[in-house]
Amino acid sequence: MQSLGTYTLTNCTILTVDEADTFFARGRMTVQNGRILRIGSEAELPLEGDVADMGGKLVLPGLVNTHTHSHSSLFKNQADDLRLMDWLNKAMWPMEAHLSAERARAATALSCMEYISGGITTYADQFYYAEAIAPVASASGLRCLLAATVFEKPSVETDDTFGAATAFVERWLGREEETRVYPCLGPHAPYSVGPELFGRVADFCRKHDVLLHTHISETQDENDQIRARYGKTPTQWLEGLGVLENRVLAAHSIHLDERDMRIYARRGVHASYNPVSNLKLVSGIMPYRTLREHGIQVSIGTDGAQSNNSMDLLRDLRTGALIQKQAEGDPTLFPAREMVRLCTIEGARALDLERQIGSLEAGKRADFIALDTESPRLCPLHRSSLSNLYSAVAYAACGADVSDMAVDGNWVMKDRTILTMDCDAVRKEAQEASEYLVRHSQVQ
Ligand SMILES: [Zn+2]
């Protein structure tokens, strides 16, 4: 629901992340009925409606996490430091087999709590139990692209993942204004979904104009498997099936060759960079510079807690930029401005929401966060220096510095108090659910 009424943020520094890099050392932003009515300097703008004194905080667009699996918060800190196949066979799949709708809800609530505490206002999710978890995502106050997973084999939820996923989309589509849940489909990956099913998913997404959220070329092993099976790279195989004629969000996108990249560029496939997950599983390093040189749009995601542990997008952003600089031997690559854009407006673009969110501009939805400038990480702060502000966000801040958040103008967190959730209950239910999974899957 969009908030009704008018209020003005004042006593804050504002980074708008618009195309012109507009910022206000002493800014004001008026929010009306969930949208930004006016944004400017304290000297220019009057105080309208209720006054929100931000105590000198740094205000910027909410962060957009373009790839995650919210159910996996229950698997956090289990079975780390393993090789991929051991990790999947000995820990992840045995635990996943004991999930239920109720446990998926507990996991989603915990993930949403972590997203909020770290400044993520919008996230692109992919998993089963979409119907069960969508109300949890909606009640958290966040904006969520919820891709119901489609898998060739039966899942823990259902024998017919396509049927469950498409029924979910049909039930939730068209209610985004009210729920902030944008339903879509998540065919898992080229190695886990066959050609006939991938084609049906693509047809459905085109017909309903919804996003197709998948994983492409995460590992070299995946490429080898697909090449052995179909004689093509995963990207060229999907192109041959007509899948890439959809709006496609492709997690990882690491092992792409020249022809794959040309296809990505021509089809407008969005690549979600998941640096910490890729480092932890030693999947490889996304060829970020080459992707950008091909005109491919890139955003950033945490991936799930089972392959990242922490949902701190600011921390991942810094890691992601630093490894690219190192890999390319070029410290000028991926500068702070670009880093901040990657986790805001470029994320919005990946989800086809850039006209609504991702920057703070009059007419857009009021999805914003504030960083606590009393944090030692944000001191000293040169409020009249754009480069200093971008650097503070990109290199110095972390999720723990986020103190306030609003989505659609509704306050979700104020002074680090989450207003939309009963956090004690969320922690208790998640703890119990995780203990159940560990006990029944005999991971420990
Ligand atoms: Zn993933």
45 & 73 share domain: no
The reply to whether 321 falls in a domain is: yes
82 & 124 share domain: yes
Q: How far is the CA of 68 from the centre of ligand 1 (A)?
A: 6
314 & 411 share domain: no
pLDDT tens, residue by residue, 246-264: 999 999 999 999 999 999 9
Q: How far is the CA of 272 from the centre of ligand 1 (A)?
A: 10
Q: How far is the CA of 385 from the centre of ligand 1 (A)?
A: 37
pLDDT of residue 1: 52
Q: How far is the CA of 193 from the centre of ligand 1 (A)?
A: 15
Q: How far is the CA of 330 from the centre of ligand 1 (A)?
A: 28
pLDDT of residue 78: 86
82 & 56 share domain: no
Looking at the predicted structure, is the pLDDT value of residue 245 above 80? yes
Q: How far is the CA of 92 from the centre of ligand 1 (A)?
A: 13
List the domain range (segments joined by +) for residue 68. Answer: 63-350
pLDDT of residue 271: 98
pLDDT tens, residue by residue, 385-395: 999 999 999 99
Q: How far is the CA of 249 from the centre of ligand 1 (A)?
A: 11
Q: How far is the CA of 251 from the centre of ligand 1 (A)?
A: 6
pLDDT tens, residue by residue, 81-128: 888 778 878 888 889 899 999 999 999 999 999 999 999 999 999 999
124 & 209 share domain: yes
Q: How far is the CA of 111 from the centre of ligand 1 (A)?
A: 15
pLDDT of residue 254: 98
CATH number at 96 reads 3.20.20.140
pLDDT tens, residue by residue, 14-38: 999 999 999 999 999 999 999 999 9
Looking at the predicted structure, is the pLDDT value of residue 431 above 60? yes
Domain end position, chosen among 350, 385, 401: 350
Looking at the predicted structure, is the pLDDT value of residue 3 above 70? no
Looking at the predicted structure, is the pLDDT value of residue 147 above 80? yes
Give the residue from 212, 315, 231 showing the smallest Cα distance to 272.
212
48 & 70 share domain: no
HSE (side-chain half, CA atoms, 13 Å) at 213: 30
Q: Are 14 and 23 in contact (CB under 8 A)?
A: yes
pTM over 0.85: yes
Q: How far is the CA of 418 from the centre of ligand 1 (A)?
A: 27
pLDDT of residue 443: 67
Give the residue from 392, 278, 376, 356 showing the smallest Cα distance to 121.
356
306 & 375 share domain: no
CATH number at 20 reads 2.30.40.10
342 & 385 share domain: no
200 & 317 share domain: yes
Q: How far is the CA of 439 from the centre of ligand 1 (A)?
A: 25
264 & 387 share domain: no
pLDDT tens, residue by residue, 35-68: 999 999 999 999 999 999 999 999 999 999 999 9
The per-residue pLDDT of the chain, averaged, comes to 96
Q: How far is the CA of 126 from the centre of ligand 1 (A)?
A: 7
Q: How far is the CA of 247 from the centre of ligand 1 (A)?
A: 18
237 & 378 share domain: no
pLDDT tens, residue by residue, 217-236: 999 999 999 999 999 999 99
The reply to whether 432 falls in a domain is: no
Q: How far is the CA of 29 from the centre of ligand 1 (A)?
A: 36
CA distance 316 to 323: 11
Q: How far is the CA of 69 from the centre of ligand 1 (A)?
A: 6
The reply to whether 438 falls in a domain is: no
Domain tally, the chain: 2
Looking at the predicted structure, is the pLDDT value of residue 2 above 60? no
55 & 69 share domain: no
Q: Which amino acid, residue 291? A: L
Give the residue from 258, 263, 232 showing the smallest Cα distance to 248.
263
Q: How far is the CA of 104 from the centre of ligand 1 (A)?
A: 16
CA distance 295 to 266: 9
Give the residue from 31, 26, 27 showing the smallest Cα distance to 50.
31
Q: How far is the CA of 215 from the centre of ligand 1 (A)?
A: 6
pLDDT tens, residue by residue, 149-206: 999 999 888 999 999 999 999 999 999 999 999 999 999 999 999 999 999 999 999 9
pLDDT of residue 409: 97
